[in-house]
């Protein structure tokens, strides 16, 4: 293989440490040509952009001028849906189609060829040197320590750490306390792993928990959990603030310095405190982060103060309260449980402790303020869980090794070691707490004194400061989280009347209005000053969020979507499912009624979003799951043999653009809805290059029109050179597996006498093709016509019934507006387009089952009669018979219909079906076919074929004579229809079949015209494929 000559590389490349990069190759000589640039006069495929997109200039790629570009960040940054063209990437037409210069569309390329292809470029707001505008200030962004870990640790640590963990240790013992801690942490760790997986599966924006759940599970569950999570955070602000206010109130009470009274003091202190916290939040995320660091340091100092206190030798006062420093005997006694009181059970204590393990979402909730959420959220959340777990375990073990369960606190209870009558471990250390322990009146000790940490610590007030830091930091974190989550929810516009709160201010887009709303909610609950009944609901809301986060991770994993590619790999879908189930179980263990309230609210909000169907597309796992289920069921259907009992009319409806024939769409949609397949087919006639772009542009619009009209159907189109070949494509290729059409539905061609003969041949040929492919056929005719394109003054597609009116062309062009059209006629067409959307009242559905086609003529009216709009209609069945055997034939048909269980009880025998029609009607038929007659004078077949060369629609005299009886039957049937069914809601009649090659198309259309003319009700002419679609057997 010959090698290409390589020109000598400049010195710049020789000093590149062995790396030969795209950027160095592209940027050789600034303002000049690189060593691989083409010579003068040699350009890319074209010197100008294409006329199709006009968005890309020839750029230098690998040293060559080409329209193609190298991979770049900008091409993917804004992509949303499948097939969306990324910014500055050439379209497929630019690369594939014939290039034509279009100087009017020239513009500079969006990407700079001098840049590396892997890094994001500065956006428009970062353009340097723009005159007259100062550069936009950089928003404050936090790393994983300051933004996530510290924030989560502060939210996890709370009052329970200081005031309840020692008491839980006394009740459950150190061993079971560790089990309680580890069980709680297991749930939060699994949730943390799930958060990490979700947050690393793509770019995370602001909105925190709501953003993660909604973009994973979709707007239905995401919206409901976002609303209650934001509300729970707002109420949690009040909870933590009241916890702080109660501590301050107790201090004031100890010093007899109450402001008003105990309850109103909580309200006053709480409102003042939350107002100060609001001021810190409004000052910006930077100030809020500084306040959180201050609280964090205070809590760390209080921990160090406590640990130092455990190693300082106990004073007599502390010994009287049960503290004796580290003793193996105390550790051994406190290692086992000692249940006391109504809450003295494992799950009772678990329900008390578990809320102190929550708070792991504090970092994720400010995802929009993080430098790199995909790195910060996993790292910070898991580190916060680890360090807080260690602090809980250390605190439980150390205080359980230092303090006995019961102590009197009285210095007078000191005794000599070994004194008689002294019971308990304290006797070995010179203290007799027997009396209060037996009476259960001890005020101190782990089991009785909530402030044991303060008593053990080196300096008690620092523990109080730690309590202040824990409560205020948690309140501040919730005060920031609630508006951030709520702002994202408001911007998505899933619920009404909340968009006002979505506006952001400043460089960080701060939700000032959301802060004020959170403040009002918090103050409202602070004024209650008693939140014991509300606290369980909040815990359940947080647990509900954990359950959905874990379920999101599990669901995204189980659907096997190619888009599920989290960079965080240390998660398990089964662990996530376990975490979701355990979270729900814990909800009911904590407070069953609060769990029911939480589920009730979620279901209500879920139902609202399902009803409204917001126009959002986030690529959720629910979409992936729907695809998986549809695929599995469709493949599974292929393994099931068809049975008559399960027959469903699966319809290929030749609608053209569906909005042009709404009555046809409504009719088929009525009996196929929630029952069978409906496929709206459209043939775009013309050159493929011209019609393919039109197909891509209009397909989504037609599908949305069907959805808006509440028609459960698919839309598909094909591009073909003529109508018949396009329909043949649809008949052969439409559907999937067993979900394939078995019935062709189309409108009656009203203008068959005036259109081009080839169009007439194609129309009748479509019916023959359907029978060749063993399709059933349903032909629909309405007096006003089906095509409402005149009313719409829209572009007419010449498919199926492309030009119902003589003034419309049939070549695919735009129909000329009918300036002389009768307004009343247009109004009638418009009214007819909605006839199948209205109640039909107490009319009749008349079925003329003249020939046995397998039962399809009976089945479609039966399916219609099951629908609410047609439920009041009486169904009548008419069959042909002989006048001398009417009773026997009627009984036979009634018996057959009863075996089909269709509920048709009114049966009429038509004995006069073979009578000769009236002479004027016969003349009308003869006049109808006169323009299409060959008038050959009964010549032989060879001569007739020669005369008919090039005009196969012509009718020979022999064909008129041979088919005379059948023609007169259609005339007579029309007379019967006018006599019996003039006021029916719908007429269903068996479609006559013209033998292929023996019945000219014009004669066949004359039969259909004669049979259905002058009838006011809609008429459907139906013919099955002569195979049974009804059975009276059960197997």
Burial class (CB in 10 A: 0-12, 13-18, 19+), 983: exposed
822 confidence band (pLDDT: 50, 70, 90): low
| CA atoms of 1013 and 921, how far apart (whole Å) | 11
pLDDT at residue 148 tops 80:
yes
DSSP 242-310: HHHHHHHHHHHHHTT--SS-HHHHHHHHHHHHHHHHHHHHHT-HHHHHHHHHHHHHHHHHHHHHHHHHH
681 and 664 in contact (C-beta within 8 Å)? no
Range name among 15-19, 607-611, 944-948 with the lowest pLDDT average: 15-19
The answer, as to whether pTM is greater than 0.95, is: no
Q: Please choose, from the candidates 233, 161, 154, 249, the residue with its C-alpha nearest in 3D space to the C-alpha of residue 530.
A: 249
Residue 63 confidence (pLDDT): 59
Please give the average per-residue pLDDT across 32-44, as a whole number: 42
Residue 3 confidence (pLDDT): 39
DSSP 684-698: EES-HHHHHHHHHHH
Which helix (H) or strand (E) segment holds residue 902: the answer is none
Q: Pick the more confident residue, 2 or 956.
A: 956
DSSP 635-693: HHHTTSPP-GGG----EEEE-SSGGG-HHHHHHHHHHHTTTS-EEEEEEEES-HHHHHH
875 confidence band (pLDDT: 50, 70, 90): very high
Residue 919 φ/ψ, nearest 5 degrees: -60, -40
Please give the C-alpha separations between residue 247 and each of 243, 250, 269, in angstroms, as whole numbers.
6, 5, 10
Q: What's the chain's Rg over C-alpha atoms?
A: 41
Residue 563 confidence (pLDDT): 80
Which helix (H) or strand (E) segment holds residue 413: the answer is none
Please give the average per-residue pLDDT across 680-687, as a whole number: 91
Side-chain half-sphere CA neighbours of 418 within 13 A: 0
Across 70-84, 208-222, 1005-1019, the highest mean pLDDT is recorded for 1005-1019
Please give the average per-residue pLDDT across 118-147, as a whole number: 55
Residue 67 confidence (pLDDT): 74
Report pLDDT digits (tens) over 770-811.
999 999 999 999 988 888 776 664 334 444 444 343 333 333
768 confidence band (pLDDT: 50, 70, 90): very high
Report pLDDT digits (tens) over 521-565.
999 888 887 656 566 777 788 888 888 889 888 988 888 878 888
Burial class (CB in 10 A: 0-12, 13-18, 19+), 13: middle
Residue 1011 confidence (pLDDT): 93
Strands 59-61 and 64-66: antiparallel
Q: Please choose, from the candidates 153, 186, 144, 180, the residue with its C-alpha nearest in 3D space to the C-alpha of residue 165.
A: 180
Which helix (H) or strand (E) segment holds residue 986: the answer is strand 986-990
Report pLDDT digits (tens) over 219-274.
877 888 788 888 888 888 888 888 888 888 888 887 787 888 888 888 899 999 99
Please give the average per-residue pLDDT across 501-527, as a whole number: 86
Residue 831 confidence (pLDDT): 65
| CA atoms of 872 and 523, how far apart (whole Å) | 59
Residue 531 confidence (pLDDT): 56
Handedness of CA 523, 524, 527, 531 (dihedral sign): negative
| CA atoms of 313 and 324, how far apart (whole Å) | 8
Please give the average per-residue pLDDT across 293-300, as a whole number: 90
Please give the average per-residue pLDDT across 949-964, as a whole number: 84
Return the SS3 of 800.
coil
| CA atoms of 862 and 857, how far apart (whole Å) | 9
Phi/psi-derived region of residue 66, left when phi > 0, alpha when psi is between -120 and 50, beta in every other case:
beta
Average per-residue pLDDT for the chain: 79
């Amino acid at each position: 293989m010959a090698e290409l000559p390589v020109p000598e590389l400049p010195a710049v490349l020789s000093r590149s440490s062995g790396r030969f990069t795209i950027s160095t190759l592209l940027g050789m000589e600034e303002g000049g040509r690189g060593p691989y640039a083409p010579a003068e006069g040699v350009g890319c495929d074209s010197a100008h952009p294409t006329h199709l997109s006009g968005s890309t200039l020839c750029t230098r790629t690998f040293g060559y001028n080409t329209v193609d570009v190298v991979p770049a960040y900008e091409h993917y940054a804004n992509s949303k849906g499948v097939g969306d063209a990324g910014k500055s990437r050439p379209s497929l037409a630019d690369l594939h189609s014939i290039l034509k210069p279009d100087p009017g569309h020239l513009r500079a390329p969006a990407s700079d060829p001098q840049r590396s292809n892997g890094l994001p470029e500065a956006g428009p707001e970062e353009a340097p040197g723009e005159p007259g505008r100062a550069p936009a200030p950089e928003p404050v962004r936090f790393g994983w320590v300051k933004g996530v870990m510290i924030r989560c640790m502060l939210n996890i640590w709370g009052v329970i750490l200081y005031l309840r963990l020692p008491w839980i240790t006394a009740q459950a013992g150190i061993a079971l306390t560790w089990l309680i801690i580890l069980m709680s942490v297991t749930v939060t760790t699994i949730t943390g792993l799930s958060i990490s997986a979700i947050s690393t599966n793509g770019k995370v924006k602001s909105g925190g928990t709501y953003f993660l759940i909604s973009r994973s599970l979709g707007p239905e569950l995401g919206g409901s959990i976002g609303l209650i999570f934001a509300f729970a955070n707002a109420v949690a602000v009040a909870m933590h603030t009241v916890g702080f206010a109660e501590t301050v109130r107790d201090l004031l009470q100890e010093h007899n310095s109450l402001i008003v009274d105990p309850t109103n003091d909580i309200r006053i202190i709480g409102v003042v405190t939350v107002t100060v916290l609001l001021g810190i939040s409004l000052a910006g995320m930077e100030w809020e982060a500084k306040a959180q660091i201050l609280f964090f340091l205070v809590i760390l100092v209080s921990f160090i103060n406590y640990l130092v206190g455990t190693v300082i030798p106990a004073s007599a006062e502390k010994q009287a309260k049960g503290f004796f420093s580290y003793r193996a005997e105390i550790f051994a006694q406190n290692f086992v449980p000692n249940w006391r009181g109504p809450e003295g059970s494992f799950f009772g204590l678990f329900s008390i402790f578990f809320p102190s393990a929550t708070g792991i979402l504090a970092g994720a909730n400010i995802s929009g303020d993080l430098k790199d959420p995909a790195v910060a959220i996993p790292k910070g959340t898991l580190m916060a869980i680890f360090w807080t777990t260690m602090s809980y375990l250390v605190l439980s073990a150390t205080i359980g090794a230092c303090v006995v369960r019961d102590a009197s606190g009285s210095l007078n209870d000191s005794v000599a070691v070994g004194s008689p009558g002294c019971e308990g471990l304290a006797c070995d250390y010179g203290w007799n707490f027997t009396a209060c322990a037996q009476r259960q009146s001890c005020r101190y000790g782990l089991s009785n004194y909530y402030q044991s940490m303060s008593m053990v610590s080196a300096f008690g007030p620092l523990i109080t400061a730690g309590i202040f830091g824990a409560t205020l930091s948690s309140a501040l974190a919730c005060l920031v989280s609630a508006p951030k989550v709520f702002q994202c929810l408001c911007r998505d516009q899933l619920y009404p009347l909340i968009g006002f709160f979505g506006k952001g201010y400043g460089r960080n887009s701060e939700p000032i209005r959301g802060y004020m709303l959170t403040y009002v909610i918090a103050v409202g609950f602070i004024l209650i000053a008693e939140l014991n009944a509300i606290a369980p609901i909040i815990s359940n809301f947080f647990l509900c969020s954990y359950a959905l986060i874990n379920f999101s991770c599990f669901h995204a994993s189980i659907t096997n979507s190619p888009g599920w590619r989290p960079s965080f790999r240390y998660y398990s879908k089964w662990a996530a499912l376990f975490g979701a189930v355990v979270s729900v179980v814990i909800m009911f263990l904590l407070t069953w009624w609060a769990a029911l309230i939480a589920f009730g609210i979620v279901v209500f909000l879920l139902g609202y979003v399902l009803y409204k169907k917001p126009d959002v597309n986030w690529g959720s796992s629910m979409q992936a799951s729907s695809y998986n289920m549809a695929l599995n069921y469709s493949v599974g259907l292929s393994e099931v043999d068809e049975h008559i009992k399960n027959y469903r009319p699966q319809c290929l409806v030749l609608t053209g653009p569906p909005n042009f024939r709404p009555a046809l769409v409504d009719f088929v949609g009525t009996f196929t809805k929630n029952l069978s397949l409906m496929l709206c087919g459209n043939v775009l006639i013309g050159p493929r290059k011209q019609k393919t772009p039109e197909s891509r542009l209009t397909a989504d619009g037609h599908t949305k029109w069907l959805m808006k009209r509440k028609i459960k159907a698919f839309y598909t189109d094909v591009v073909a050179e003529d109508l018949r070949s396009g329909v043949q494509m649809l008949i052969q290729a439409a559907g999937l597996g067993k979900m394939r059409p078995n019935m062709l539905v189309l409108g009656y061609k009203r203008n068959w006498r005036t259109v081009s003969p080839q169009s007439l041949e194609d129309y009748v040929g479509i019916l023959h093709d359907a029978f060749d492919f063993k399709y059933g056929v349903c032909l629909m005719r309405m007096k006003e016509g089906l095509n409402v394109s005149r009313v719409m003054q829209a572009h007419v597609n010449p498919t199926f019934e492309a030009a119902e009116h003589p003034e419309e062309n049939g070549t695919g062009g735009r129909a000329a507006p009918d300036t002389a059209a009768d307004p009343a006629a247009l109004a009638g067409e418009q009214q007819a387009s909605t006839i199948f959307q209205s109640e039909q009242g107490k009319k009749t559905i008349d079925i003329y089952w003249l020939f046995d086609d397998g039962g399809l003529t009976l089945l479609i009216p039966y399916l219609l009669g099951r629908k609410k709009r047609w439920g009041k209609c009486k169904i009548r069945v008419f069959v042909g018979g002989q006048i001398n055997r009417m009773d026997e034939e009627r009984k036979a048909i009634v018996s057959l219909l009863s075996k089909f269980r269709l509920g048709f009880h009114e049966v009429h025998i038509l004995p006069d079906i073979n009578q000769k029609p009236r002479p004027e009607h016969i003349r009308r038929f003869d006049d109808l076919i006169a323009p299409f007659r060959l008038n050959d004078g009964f010549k032989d077949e060879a001569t007739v074929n020669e005369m008919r060369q090039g005009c196969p629609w012509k009718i020979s005299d022999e064909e008129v004579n041979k088919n005379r009886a059948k023609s007169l039957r259609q005339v007579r049937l029309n007379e019967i229809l006018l006599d019996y069914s003039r006021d029916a809601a719908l007429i269903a009649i068996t479609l006559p079949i013209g033998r292929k090659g023996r019945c000219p198309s014009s004669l066949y259309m004359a039969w259909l015209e004669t049979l259905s003319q002058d009838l006011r009700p809609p008429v459907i002419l139906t013919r099955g494929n002569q195979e049974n679609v009804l059975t009276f057997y059960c197997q």
